[in-house]
């Protein structure tokens, strides 16, 4: 059985950190948190509440689904956690789509976040369908793509300070870039890794 590797540990650390920080909205109380928020989100409280409640659950849970020992030893836990992940993606993605429509960065940012939301739900839904059909190898491949999109929450928060701090852009200008940059490279990297491991396996057999 393959051992979890260091990229998985780094991903787990970053995912948990971003998920916990996102819960400031619930911990501070919505009013307190809204005072610190950009005004454009204040008129979509329900969507933001659903989004900041559900999306961090997907981020925090998803990474543990890839721990080989955990899913082999506790398949029931893997299935339960997978169902919660899928529900969190559905709620987080649908509310993310509502937030995307009025994104601060205008139509280009709206399109980037909107496409991310649609792909997040679609790709995860396909992974769930494959699990229900017991096509575990394909389920795993689609879940890797799904988590690459979930991880956009982390990559966005890595790029944003650089664009604002070093690039001298404001939040609206930065979000035009990060709405795409936070997920397109993640998905391409996941696809590259899947193709590479598949061709390595084909060479061995």
Residues that bind ligand HEM in the complex, under the rule CB under 6 A: 18-19, 22, 40-41, 51-52, 55-56, 58-59, 92-93, 96, 99-100, 103-104, 113, 116-117, 120, 149-150, 152-153, 175
Least distance to ligand HEM, CB of residue 17, Å? 10
Least distance to ligand HEM, CB of residue 151, Å? 8
Least distance to ligand HEM, CB of residue 13, Å? 14
CA 23 to chain centroid, in Å, comes to 15
Least distance to ligand HEM, CB of residue 118, Å? 8
Neighbouring C-alpha atoms within 13 Å toward the C-beta of 192: 6
What does the alpha-carbon distance between residue 181 and residue 177 come to, in Å, rounded to a whole number?
6
Tell me whether residue 59 or residue 130 sits nearer to ligand HEM (CB atom).
59
Is-contact 194 123, C-beta < 8 A? no
Tell me whether residue 120 or residue 142 sits nearer to ligand HEM (CB atom).
120
Backbone angles phi, psi at 65, to 5 degrees: -65, -20
Least distance to ligand HEM, CB of residue 205, Å? 35
What does the alpha-carbon distance between residue 186 and residue 149 come to, in Å, rounded to a whole number?
7
The residue written with tokens 């001298």 in the block is: 168
Tell me whether residue 67 or residue 172 sits nearer to ligand HEM (CB atom).
172
Q: Rounded to the nearest 5 degrees, what angle is found at the Cα of 165, between the Cα atoms of 175 and 17?
A: 70
Q: How many CB atoms within 10 Å of residue 112?
A: 24
What sign has the CA pseudo-torsion 132, 137, 138, 143? positive
Tell me whether residue 59 or residue 190 sits nearer to ligand HEM (CB atom).
59
Tell me whether residue 82 or residue 96 sits nearer to ligand HEM (CB atom).
96
Least distance to ligand HEM, CB of residue 146, Å? 9
What does the alpha-carbon distance between residue 21 and residue 15 come to, in Å, rounded to a whole number?
10
Tell me whether residue 1 or residue 185 sits nearer to ligand HEM (CB atom).
185
What does the alpha-carbon distance between residue 205 and residue 201 come to, in Å, rounded to a whole number?
6
């Amino acid at each position: 059985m393959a051992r979890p590797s260091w990229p998985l540990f780094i991903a787990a650390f970053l995912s948990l950190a971003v998920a916990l920080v996102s819960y400031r909205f619930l911990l501070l109380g919505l009013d307190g948190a809204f005072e610190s928020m950009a005004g454009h989100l204040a008129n979509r409280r329900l969507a933001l509440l659903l989004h900041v409640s559900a999306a961090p659950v997907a981020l925090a849970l998803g990474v543990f689904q890839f721990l080989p020992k955990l899913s082999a030893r506790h398949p029931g836990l893997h299935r339960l956690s997978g169902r919660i992940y899928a529900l969190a993606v559905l709620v987080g993605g649908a509310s993310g789509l509502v937030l995307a429509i009025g994104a601060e960065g205008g139509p280009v940012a709206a399109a980037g976040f909107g496409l991310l939301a649609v792909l997040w739900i679609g790709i995860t839904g396909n992974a769930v369908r494959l699990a229900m059909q017991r096509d575990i190898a394909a389920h795993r491949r689609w879940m890797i793509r799904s988590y690459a999109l979930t991880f956009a929450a982390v990559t966005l928060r890595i790029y944003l300070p650089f664009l604002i701090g070093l690039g001298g852009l404001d939040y609206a200008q930065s979000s035009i870039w990060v709405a795409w940059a936070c997920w397109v490279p993640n998905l391409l990297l996941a696809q590259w890794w899947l193709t590479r491991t598949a061709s390595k396996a084909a060479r061995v057999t």
